[in-house]
Structure 1
Amino acid sequence: EIYDATLIIGATNVPDILDIDRLKPGTLIVDDSGPHCFSPEQAIKRFEKHKDILFTEGGALHAPDPIETVIYLPESMKKNMDEDSLSDEFKPTNPLNIMGCVMSSLLSSRFDNIKPTVGLPNLETCVQHYQGLERLGFQAADLHCEGYVLQIESNQPSA
Protein backbone atom coordinates (compact mmCIF):
# COMPACT_ATOMS: atom_id res chain seq x y z
CA GLU A 1 0.00 0.00 0.00
CA ILE A 2 2.87 2.40 0.71
CA TYR A 3 3.81 2.44 -2.98
CA ASP A 4 0.35 3.79 -3.88
CA ALA A 5 1.02 6.90 -1.76
CA THR A 6 2.34 10.16 -3.21
CA LEU A 7 3.45 11.58 0.16
CA ILE A 8 5.62 9.44 2.41
CA ILE A 9 6.84 10.67 5.79
CA GLY A 10 9.65 8.54 7.17
CA ALA A 11 10.52 8.27 10.86
CA THR A 12 12.27 4.99 11.59
CA ASN A 13 15.64 3.59 12.58
CA VAL A 14 15.59 0.89 9.89
CA PRO A 15 17.63 1.78 6.78
CA ASP A 16 16.52 1.26 3.18
CA ILE A 17 13.05 -0.15 3.85
CA LEU A 18 11.58 2.01 1.08
CA ASP A 19 12.38 0.86 -2.47
CA ILE A 20 12.95 3.97 -4.58
CA ASP A 21 12.32 2.07 -7.83
CA ARG A 22 8.78 1.14 -6.73
CA LEU A 23 7.65 4.73 -6.00
CA LYS A 24 4.97 6.26 -8.22
CA PRO A 25 6.04 9.26 -10.28
CA GLY A 26 5.13 12.42 -8.40
CA THR A 27 5.94 10.98 -4.95
CA LEU A 28 7.38 13.27 -2.26
CA ILE A 29 9.40 11.73 0.59
CA VAL A 30 10.05 13.69 3.78
CA ASP A 31 12.38 11.58 5.89
CA ASP A 32 13.41 12.34 9.45
CA SER A 33 14.95 8.90 9.91
CA GLY A 34 18.49 8.12 10.88
CA PRO A 35 19.69 6.27 8.94
CA HIS A 36 17.36 7.15 6.06
CA CYS A 37 14.45 4.83 5.29
CA PHE A 38 15.49 4.91 1.61
CA SER A 39 18.78 4.83 -0.27
CA PRO A 40 19.83 8.46 -0.86
CA GLU A 41 22.10 7.28 -3.70
CA GLN A 42 19.22 5.58 -5.53
CA ALA A 43 16.91 8.56 -4.93
CA ILE A 44 19.50 10.97 -6.33
CA LYS A 45 20.03 8.78 -9.41
CA ARG A 46 16.28 8.58 -10.07
CA PHE A 47 15.82 12.30 -9.51
CA GLU A 48 18.67 13.22 -11.84
CA LYS A 49 17.57 10.76 -14.54
CA HIS A 50 13.76 11.16 -14.46
CA LYS A 51 12.97 14.18 -12.25
CA ASP A 52 9.78 12.34 -11.24
CA ILE A 53 10.17 12.17 -7.43
CA LEU A 54 11.15 14.64 -4.74
CA PHE A 55 12.78 13.85 -1.41
CA THR A 56 14.19 15.74 1.54
CA GLU A 57 15.41 15.33 5.07
CA GLY A 58 12.71 16.46 7.48
CA GLY A 59 13.13 18.89 10.32
CA ALA A 60 15.26 21.63 8.78
CA LEU A 61 14.26 25.29 8.60
CA HIS A 62 15.73 28.11 6.49
CA ALA A 63 16.71 31.16 8.57
CA PRO A 64 16.40 34.72 7.25
CA ASP A 65 20.09 35.33 8.13
CA PRO A 66 23.14 33.05 8.51
CA ILE A 67 23.49 31.35 11.87
CA GLU A 68 26.94 31.14 13.40
CA THR A 69 27.82 27.68 14.65
CA VAL A 70 30.24 27.13 17.50
CA ILE A 71 31.37 23.58 18.19
CA TYR A 72 33.29 22.66 21.32
CA LEU A 73 35.25 19.45 21.21
CA PRO A 74 37.11 18.39 24.36
CA GLU A 75 40.82 17.67 23.93
CA SER A 76 40.26 14.03 24.93
CA MET A 77 37.99 13.57 21.90
CA LYS A 78 40.35 15.39 19.56
CA LYS A 79 43.16 13.04 20.57
CA ASN A 80 41.06 10.02 19.59
CA MET A 81 40.06 11.33 16.15
CA ASP A 82 42.26 11.68 13.09
CA GLU A 83 41.94 14.62 10.69
CA ASP A 84 39.65 12.71 8.28
CA SER A 85 37.28 11.70 11.08
CA LEU A 86 37.11 15.27 12.34
CA SER A 87 36.38 16.71 8.90
CA ASP A 88 33.72 14.02 8.22
CA GLU A 89 32.00 14.54 11.56
CA PHE A 90 32.09 18.33 11.50
CA LYS A 91 31.78 19.11 7.79
CA PRO A 92 30.41 22.57 6.99
CA THR A 93 26.66 22.87 6.80
CA ASN A 94 24.41 25.47 5.25
CA PRO A 95 24.61 28.47 7.64
CA LEU A 96 21.01 29.34 6.82
CA ASN A 97 19.65 25.98 8.03
CA ILE A 98 18.68 25.14 11.60
CA MET A 99 16.91 22.04 12.84
CA GLY A 100 13.32 22.54 13.97
CA CYS A 101 13.90 20.75 17.27
CA VAL A 102 16.55 23.36 18.15
CA MET A 103 14.39 26.24 16.93
CA SER A 104 11.41 25.06 18.98
CA SER A 105 13.19 25.69 22.27
CA LEU A 106 14.31 29.09 21.03
CA LEU A 107 10.71 30.02 20.15
CA SER A 108 9.59 29.07 23.65
CA SER A 109 12.17 31.40 25.17
CA ARG A 110 11.46 34.23 22.68
CA PHE A 111 7.64 34.41 22.78
CA ASP A 112 5.59 34.43 25.99
CA ASN A 113 2.61 32.72 24.32
CA ILE A 114 4.69 29.75 23.12
CA LYS A 115 5.21 27.35 25.99
CA PRO A 116 7.62 24.40 26.00
CA THR A 117 5.94 21.11 25.14
CA VAL A 118 6.50 17.47 26.01
CA GLY A 119 4.94 14.70 23.94
CA LEU A 120 2.63 15.18 20.99
CA PRO A 121 1.63 18.82 20.44
CA ASN A 122 -1.96 19.83 19.84
CA LEU A 123 -3.13 21.92 16.87
CA GLU A 124 -3.07 25.22 18.81
CA THR A 125 0.57 24.67 19.81
CA CYS A 126 1.54 23.83 16.23
CA VAL A 127 -0.14 27.00 14.94
CA GLN A 128 1.62 29.11 17.60
CA HIS A 129 5.01 27.69 16.60
CA TYR A 130 4.26 28.20 12.90
CA GLN A 131 3.20 31.81 13.48
CA GLY A 132 6.32 32.44 15.57
CA LEU A 133 8.51 31.12 12.78
CA GLU A 134 6.68 33.31 10.26
CA ARG A 135 7.15 36.41 12.44
CA LEU A 136 10.88 35.74 12.60
CA GLY A 137 11.13 35.20 8.83
CA PHE A 138 11.86 31.47 8.79
CA GLN A 139 10.92 29.33 5.80
CA ALA A 140 11.23 25.73 4.70
CA ALA A 141 14.77 24.59 3.92
CA ASP A 142 15.73 23.61 0.38
CA LEU A 143 14.96 20.01 -0.52
CA HIS A 144 18.15 18.23 0.52
CA CYS A 145 19.57 14.89 1.58
CA GLU A 146 23.00 14.20 3.03
CA GLY A 147 24.54 17.32 1.51
CA TYR A 148 22.82 16.92 -1.89
CA VAL A 149 20.47 19.79 -2.74
CA LEU A 150 17.77 19.02 -5.30
CA GLN A 151 17.88 21.53 -8.14
CA ILE A 152 14.27 22.26 -8.94
CA GLU A 153 13.58 23.93 -12.27
CA SER A 154 10.72 26.37 -12.23
CA ASN A 155 8.22 26.73 -15.05
CA GLN A 156 7.32 30.16 -13.73
CA PRO A 157 8.18 33.10 -15.99
CA SER A 158 10.85 35.35 -14.48
CA ALA A 159 9.77 38.84 -13.52
Structure 2
Amino acid sequence: MVTVREVAQLTGYSTAVVSHYFRNKAELMFLIFQDTLCQTQARLDHAIAARLPLSKCLEVLLPMDSESRDTWKIWFAFWNMTLSEPDFHAEQLTRTEHVLTIIAQLIREEPGFLPDAVLGEDLRARRVYAMLVGIAVQATHDPARWPRARQCQVLESELATWAAA
Protein backbone atom coordinates (compact mmCIF):
# COMPACT_ATOMS: atom_id res chain seq x y z
CA MET A 1 0.00 0.00 0.00
CA VAL A 2 1.25 3.46 -0.87
CA THR A 3 2.03 5.91 1.91
CA VAL A 4 1.31 9.64 2.10
CA ARG A 5 5.07 10.18 2.11
CA GLU A 6 5.38 8.28 -1.19
CA VAL A 7 2.52 10.27 -2.71
CA ALA A 8 4.19 13.51 -1.65
CA GLN A 9 7.51 12.37 -3.08
CA LEU A 10 5.96 11.29 -6.41
CA THR A 11 4.11 14.58 -6.81
CA GLY A 12 7.06 16.74 -5.81
CA TYR A 13 5.39 18.12 -2.68
CA SER A 14 6.28 17.77 0.94
CA THR A 15 4.34 15.50 3.26
CA ALA A 16 3.21 18.64 5.10
CA VAL A 17 1.65 20.08 1.94
CA VAL A 18 -0.19 16.84 1.13
CA SER A 19 -1.34 16.57 4.75
CA HIS A 20 -2.58 20.16 4.64
CA TYR A 21 -5.03 19.34 1.84
CA PHE A 22 -6.02 15.85 2.98
CA ARG A 23 -6.94 14.88 6.52
CA ASN A 24 -5.81 11.31 5.94
CA LYS A 25 -4.86 8.81 3.29
CA ALA A 26 -8.48 7.65 2.86
CA GLU A 27 -9.50 11.17 1.84
CA LEU A 28 -6.67 11.32 -0.67
CA MET A 29 -7.64 7.90 -2.05
CA PHE A 30 -11.26 9.00 -2.37
CA LEU A 31 -10.19 12.01 -4.43
CA ILE A 32 -8.18 9.75 -6.75
CA PHE A 33 -11.20 7.46 -7.10
CA GLN A 34 -13.49 10.40 -7.90
CA ASP A 35 -10.97 11.85 -10.34
CA THR A 36 -10.78 8.66 -12.41
CA LEU A 37 -14.58 8.51 -12.51
CA CYS A 38 -14.75 12.16 -13.61
CA GLN A 39 -12.16 11.64 -16.35
CA THR A 40 -14.16 8.76 -17.77
CA GLN A 41 -17.38 10.76 -17.54
CA ALA A 42 -15.69 13.59 -19.45
CA ARG A 43 -14.63 11.17 -22.22
CA LEU A 44 -18.19 9.84 -22.43
CA ASP A 45 -19.66 13.35 -22.45
CA HIS A 46 -17.27 14.30 -25.27
CA ALA A 47 -18.33 11.27 -27.34
CA ILE A 48 -22.00 12.08 -26.79
CA ALA A 49 -21.49 15.76 -27.67
CA ALA A 50 -19.76 14.66 -30.87
CA ARG A 51 -22.94 12.70 -31.65
CA LEU A 52 -21.02 9.46 -32.09
CA PRO A 53 -23.04 6.29 -32.61
CA LEU A 54 -23.89 4.15 -29.60
CA SER A 55 -21.03 1.69 -30.07
CA LYS A 56 -18.43 4.47 -30.27
CA CYS A 57 -19.81 6.15 -27.15
CA LEU A 58 -19.66 2.87 -25.26
CA GLU A 59 -16.13 2.18 -26.46
CA VAL A 60 -14.84 5.13 -24.41
CA LEU A 61 -15.83 3.15 -21.30
CA LEU A 62 -13.61 0.21 -22.26
CA PRO A 63 -9.85 -0.30 -21.74
CA MET A 64 -8.97 0.29 -25.39
CA ASP A 65 -5.56 1.87 -24.75
CA SER A 66 -2.97 2.07 -21.99
CA GLU A 67 -4.56 5.17 -20.40
CA SER A 68 -8.04 3.69 -20.14
CA ARG A 69 -6.56 0.34 -19.06
CA ASP A 70 -4.75 2.18 -16.24
CA THR A 71 -8.07 3.73 -15.24
CA TRP A 72 -9.63 0.28 -14.99
CA LYS A 73 -6.69 -0.90 -12.90
CA ILE A 74 -7.33 1.99 -10.51
CA TRP A 75 -11.01 1.05 -10.28
CA PHE A 76 -10.13 -2.56 -9.59
CA ALA A 77 -7.83 -1.42 -6.82
CA PHE A 78 -10.73 0.50 -5.28
CA TRP A 79 -13.41 -2.18 -5.65
CA ASN A 80 -12.73 -3.59 -2.21
CA MET A 81 -13.13 -0.11 -0.75
CA THR A 82 -16.49 0.28 -2.49
CA LEU A 83 -17.64 -2.75 -0.50
CA SER A 84 -16.26 -1.67 2.87
CA GLU A 85 -16.15 2.15 2.90
CA PRO A 86 -19.49 4.01 2.89
CA ASP A 87 -18.22 7.03 0.91
CA PHE A 88 -16.71 4.85 -1.79
CA HIS A 89 -19.82 2.67 -1.88
CA ALA A 90 -22.15 5.65 -2.26
CA GLU A 91 -19.97 7.18 -4.98
CA GLN A 92 -19.84 3.89 -6.89
CA LEU A 93 -23.61 3.46 -6.74
CA THR A 94 -24.28 7.06 -7.76
CA ARG A 95 -21.89 6.92 -10.70
CA THR A 96 -23.19 3.54 -11.84
CA GLU A 97 -26.79 4.75 -11.84
CA HIS A 98 -25.72 7.85 -13.77
CA VAL A 99 -23.97 5.75 -16.42
CA LEU A 100 -27.00 3.43 -16.62
CA THR A 101 -29.21 6.45 -17.28
CA ILE A 102 -26.87 7.61 -20.04
CA ILE A 103 -26.71 4.14 -21.60
CA ALA A 104 -30.52 3.90 -21.59
CA GLN A 105 -30.75 7.32 -23.25
CA LEU A 106 -28.16 6.38 -25.88
CA ILE A 107 -30.02 3.17 -26.68
CA ARG A 108 -33.33 5.04 -26.91
CA GLU A 109 -31.82 7.55 -29.34
CA GLU A 110 -29.92 5.04 -31.47
CA PRO A 111 -31.47 4.89 -34.96
CA GLY A 112 -32.62 1.43 -35.94
CA PHE A 113 -32.88 0.02 -32.45
CA LEU A 114 -36.15 -1.62 -31.58
CA PRO A 115 -37.68 -1.16 -28.14
CA ASP A 116 -37.50 -4.32 -26.06
CA ALA A 117 -40.88 -4.99 -24.47
CA VAL A 118 -39.50 -7.99 -22.58
CA LEU A 119 -36.37 -6.46 -21.07
CA GLY A 120 -37.45 -2.87 -20.84
CA GLU A 121 -35.15 0.12 -20.88
CA ASP A 122 -33.59 -0.27 -17.44
CA LEU A 123 -32.76 -3.96 -17.76
CA ARG A 124 -31.38 -3.46 -21.24
CA ALA A 125 -29.07 -0.70 -19.98
CA ARG A 126 -27.95 -2.94 -17.10
CA ARG A 127 -27.26 -5.74 -19.56
CA VAL A 128 -25.04 -3.43 -21.62
CA TYR A 129 -23.30 -2.19 -18.49
CA ALA A 130 -22.64 -5.75 -17.32
CA MET A 131 -21.23 -6.60 -20.74
CA LEU A 132 -18.94 -3.55 -20.65
CA VAL A 133 -17.63 -4.47 -17.22
CA GLY A 134 -17.11 -8.08 -18.33
CA ILE A 135 -15.17 -7.01 -21.41
CA ALA A 136 -13.15 -4.56 -19.32
CA VAL A 137 -12.22 -7.19 -16.73
CA GLN A 138 -10.95 -9.54 -19.42
CA ALA A 139 -9.22 -6.83 -21.46
CA THR A 140 -7.49 -5.36 -18.43
CA HIS A 141 -6.23 -8.69 -17.16
CA ASP A 142 -5.36 -10.15 -20.57
CA PRO A 143 -4.74 -7.29 -23.01
CA ALA A 144 -2.90 -9.54 -25.48
CA ARG A 145 -6.07 -11.62 -26.04
CA TRP A 146 -8.41 -8.65 -25.72
CA PRO A 147 -7.03 -5.91 -27.98
CA ARG A 148 -9.19 -3.04 -29.16
CA ALA A 149 -10.42 -5.02 -32.19
CA ARG A 150 -11.75 -7.90 -30.08
CA GLN A 151 -13.42 -5.56 -27.60
CA CYS A 152 -15.14 -3.75 -30.48
CA GLN A 153 -16.14 -7.05 -32.09
CA VAL A 154 -17.81 -8.34 -28.92
CA LEU A 155 -19.54 -5.01 -28.28
CA GLU A 156 -20.75 -4.69 -31.87
CA SER A 157 -22.01 -8.28 -32.00
CA GLU A 158 -24.12 -7.76 -28.88
CA LEU A 159 -25.51 -4.44 -30.09
CA ALA A 160 -26.33 -5.96 -33.49
CA THR A 161 -28.80 -8.32 -31.84
CA TRP A 162 -30.96 -5.30 -30.98
CA ALA A 163 -31.00 -3.56 -34.35
CA ALA A 164 -34.05 -3.64 -36.57
CA ALA A 165 -33.78 -6.04 -39.47
Give the TM-score range, shorter chain. under 0.3
Q: Which of the two has greater helix per residue?
A: 2
Q: Which of the two has greater strand per residue?
A: 1
